[in-house]
């Protein structure tokens, strides 16, 4: 039996290690994503774990999509995820338990997050039973509690210098029974402001700021503010995008409207400023 929580280097490939650690509950590869990463949920004697790797340094299987990034770039992003875990201690961030070096790069071993992933493939977004629709229709108190956690976590990330990239509903694991949020897949976050070197950056266009489509534009805290505002608007209005439907009331709705303004200079200058304004607005509506 392989103990994934204590092994730090192994000559074995990740698939062998995972299968030697316990019962594989799920495998995520080219059949469910185009990143090139390969991940597993594995039940071990200690706990249920989520294991993430950069996949193989090889051509994709026949019929599989070509990964968006090559193997070396995927490895670099996993090391960014490790750096985030080491620089920011916040209960909303997925808990990284161990990193094991293997012949194909690092294996990141996390606690399995409770709840369900809010983001679903576009063809499932109309399904009322999907986690996407269920979160959007959840009681206002549940959604607001999740938004509070989302902003508080990003306050901590921003304080450590991290700028959000590719933040979308596929990063949100929500347990509706406990209102607990877990943030996952923050590998593409970057330390400090940087220029848009791609033109159209990674992300979901539903939540991306205008500068994420403009080559050479500055990506910084105001960009993070926009994406957070769009996420909260999208789900806080029950998907209508009309702030008259916002579950947090008018004052909080006005804060969200400012966060998601197209012009950078019209938004909050920092995540902390946004979070403070949100907290003040929320306090004014609590009984």
User: Minimal CA–CA distance to 53: which of 78, 20, 17?
Assistant: 78
Eight-class DSSP state of 187: T
Helices 271-285 and 250-259 pack at an angle, to 10 degrees, of 170
| Cβ pair 92, 111 in contact under 8 A | no
Where do the domains of the chain lie? Answer: 14-111, 116-285
The position carrying tokens 């970057």 is 190
Q: What pLDDT is attached to residue 285?
A: 66
| Cβ pair 144, 282 in contact under 8 A | yes
Q: What pLDDT is attached to residue 287?
A: 45
Q: What pLDDT is attached to residue 63?
A: 67
* CATH of span 14-111: 3.30.200.20
pTM of the model: 0.94
**Would you give per-residue pLDDT tens digits along the chain (287 residues)?**
899 999 999 999 999 999 999 999 999 987 777 788 999 999 999 999 999 999 988 877 776 677 778 999 999 999 999 999 999 999 999 999 999 999 999 999 999 999 999 999 999 999 999 999 999 999 999 999 999 999 999 999 999 999 999 999 999 999 999 999 999 999 999 999 999 999 999 999 999 999 999 999 999 999 999 999 999 999 999 999 999 999 999 999 999 999 999 999 999 999 999 999 999 999 876 54
Distance CA 25, CA 111 (A): 14
User: Hey, is 40 helix, strand or coil?
Assistant: strand
Q: What pLDDT is attached to residue 36?
A: 84
Question: How far are the Cα atoms of 38, 111, 168 from residue 88, in angstroms, in the given order?
Answer: 25, 16, 20
The reply to whether 116-285 shares the fold of 14-111 is no
Distance CA 44, CA 42 (A): 6
- For 22, the token pair is 């316990």
> In the CATH scheme, what architecture does the domain 116-285 have?
Orthogonal Bundle (1.10)
Rg, the chain, Cα only: 19
| Cβ pair 231, 150 in contact under 8 A | yes
- For 82, the token pair is 């490790």
Question: How far are the Cα atoms of 2, 83, 154 from residue 54, in angstroms, in the given order?
Answer: 20, 16, 25
Distance of CA 236 to the CA centre of its chain: 18
Q: What pLDDT is attached to residue 103?
A: 94
- For 113, the token pair is 């997050």
The residue count of the chain comes to: 287
Eight-class DSSP state of 199: S
Q: CA end-to-end span of the chain, whole Å?
A: 53
Distance CA 136, CA 13 (A): 40
Stated as kind and residue range, the H or E segment containing 85 is: helix 71-87
Other CB atoms within a 10 A radius of the CB of residue 9 amount to 8
**Dihedral over alpha carbons 75, 77, 78, 84 (to 10 degrees):** 150
Q: Given the DSSP bridges, would you call strands 96-102 and 194-195 parallel, antiparallel or unpaired?
A: unpaired
């Amino acid at each position: 039996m392989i103990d994934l929580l204590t092994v730090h280097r192994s000559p074995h490939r990740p698939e062998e290690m995972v299968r030697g650690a316990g019962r594989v509950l799920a495998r995520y590869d080219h059949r469910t994503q185009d990143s090139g990463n390969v991940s597993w949920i594995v039940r071990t004697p200690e706990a249920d774990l989520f294991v993430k790797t950069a996949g193989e340094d090889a051509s994709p299987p026949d019929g599989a999509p070509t990964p968006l990034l090559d193997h070396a770039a995927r490895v670099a992003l996993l090391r960014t995820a490790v750096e985030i875990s080491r620089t920011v201690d916040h209960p909303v961030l997925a808990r990284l338990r161990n990193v094991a070096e293997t012949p194909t790069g690092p294996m990141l071993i996390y606690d399995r997050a409770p709840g369900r992933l809010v983001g679903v493939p576009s063809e499932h977004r109309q399904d009322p039973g999907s986690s996407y629709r269920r979160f959007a229709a959840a009681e206002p108190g549940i959604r607001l509690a999740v938004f509070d956690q989302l902003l508080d976590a990003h306050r901590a990330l921003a304080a450590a210098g991290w700028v959000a990239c590719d933040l979308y509903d596929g990063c949100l694991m929500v347990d509706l029974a406990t209102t607990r949020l877990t943030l996952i897949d923050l590998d593409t976050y970057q330390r400090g402001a940087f220029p848009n070197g791609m033109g159209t950056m990674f992300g979901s266009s539903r939540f991306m700021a205008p500068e994420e489509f403009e080559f050479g534009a500055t990506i910084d805290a105001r960009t993070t503010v926009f994406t957070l505002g769009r996420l909260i608007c999208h789900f806080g209005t029950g998907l209508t995008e009309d702030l008259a439907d916002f579950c947090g009331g008018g004052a909080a709705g006005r804060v969200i409207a400012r966060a998601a303004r197209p012009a950078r200079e019209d938004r909050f200058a920092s995540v902390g400023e946004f979070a403070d304004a949100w907290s003040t607005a929320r306090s004014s509506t609590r009984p």
